[in-house]
Amino acid sequence: MSPIASFVRERRTANGLTQRELAELAGVGPRAIWDLERGKPTLRTDVVNAVLRVFGKTLGIVDAPRGDGEVS
């Protein structure tokens, strides 16, 4: 499971929310929550951000470990 999927599921359940309730709070469809919690690799960033904002978070740029052939 991806870190985002784990975070969303953990926070949702810790707050006693169903997937449908979280979807309503985020202004997205219930399928978006289902897909997100299962780590679907092709979700739109605006949908992910809408869900994360419910928990006071947002996507951002983070330094990754440098790999071979990586340019700056």
Give the mean pLDDT of 17-43: 98
- Give me the residue label for tokens 């340019």: 71
Yes or no: say if 35 and 60 are a contact pair by the CB < 8 Å rule: no
pLDDT tens for residues 2-25? 999 999 999 999 999 999 999 999
Domain boundaries, the chain: 3-54
pTM for the full predicted model: 0.85
The three-state (H, E, C) secondary structure of the chain, written as one string? CCHHHHHHHHHHHHCCCCHHHHHHHHCCCHHHHHHHHCCCCCCCHHHHHHHHHHCCCCCCCCCCCCCCCCCC
CATH architecture under which domain 3-54 falls: Orthogonal Bundle (1.10)
